[in-house]
Amino acid sequence: MNKKNLNILKTAIPWAVILLLFVFPFFKPDIFFLSVGVILFMYIALSSSWNIIGGYSGYMSFGHGAFFGIGAYTVALLLIEFGYSPFITCVLGGLLAAVFALIVGYPVLRLKGPYFSLATLCLGLAVPVVVINMPNELTGGATGLFMPLLPVDIFVNRTIFYEIMLALAVIATLISRWALQSKFGLGLNAIRENESTAETIGVDSTRLKITAFVLSAFLVGVIGGIFAYYRTYVHTTTVFDVNLSIMIVVMALLGGAATWQGPVLGATILIIIDQILISAFPGLPAELSRLIYGLILVLVIMFMPKGIIHFVNVWLRSRASAAGAEEVQK
Q: How far apart are CA 254 and CA 309, in angstroms?
A: 9
By CB under 8 A, residue 181 contacts another protein: no
CB of 75 to another protein, least distance (A): 24
Residue closer to another protein by CB (options 38, 252) is 252
Whether 217 and 101 have beta carbons less than 8 Å apart is answered as: yes
Name the residue nearer to another protein (CB basis): 62 or 229.
62
Binding to another protein by CB under 8 A, coded x per residue (else -) over 91-120, reads ----------------xx-xxxxxx-xxx-
**Per-residue contact flags (x/-) with another protein for residues 280 to 299, judged by CB under 8 A:** -----x-xx-xx-xxxxxx-
End-to-end, the C-alpha distance of the chain in Å comes to 16
The secondary structure of 172-199 as a DSSP string is: HHHHHHHHHHSHHHHHHHHHHH-HHHHH
Is 190 a binding residue for another protein by CB under 8 A? The answer is no
Report yes or no: 128 and 236 within 8 Å, Cβ to Cβ.
yes
Site size toward another protein, by CB under 8 A: 45
Binding mask 2-41 toward another protein (x if CB under 8 A, else -) reads ----------------------------------------
Closer residue to another protein (CB): 210 or 296:
296
For residue 125, state whether it binds another protein (rule: CB under 8 A).
Answer: yes
Enumerate the β-bridge partners of residue 92: none
DSSP run (H or E) holding 145: strand 145-146
**Amino acid letter at 304?**
M
Asked if 323 is part of the footprint of another protein (rule: CB under 8 A), the reply reads no
Asked if residue 230 lies in contact with residue 86, where contact means CB atoms within 8 angstroms, the answer is no
Burial of 182 (0-12, 13-18, 19+ CB in 10 A): exposed
Q: Name 146's bridge partners.
A: 233
- Give the Cα separation of 285 and 291 in Å (integer): 10
Judged by beta carbon, residue 91 or residue 301, the one nearer another protein is 301
Residues that bind another protein (CB under 8 A): 60, 107-108, 110-115, 117-119, 121-123, 125-126, 129-130, 132-133, 242, 246, 249-250, 253-254, 257, 285, 287-288, 290-291, 293-298, 301-306
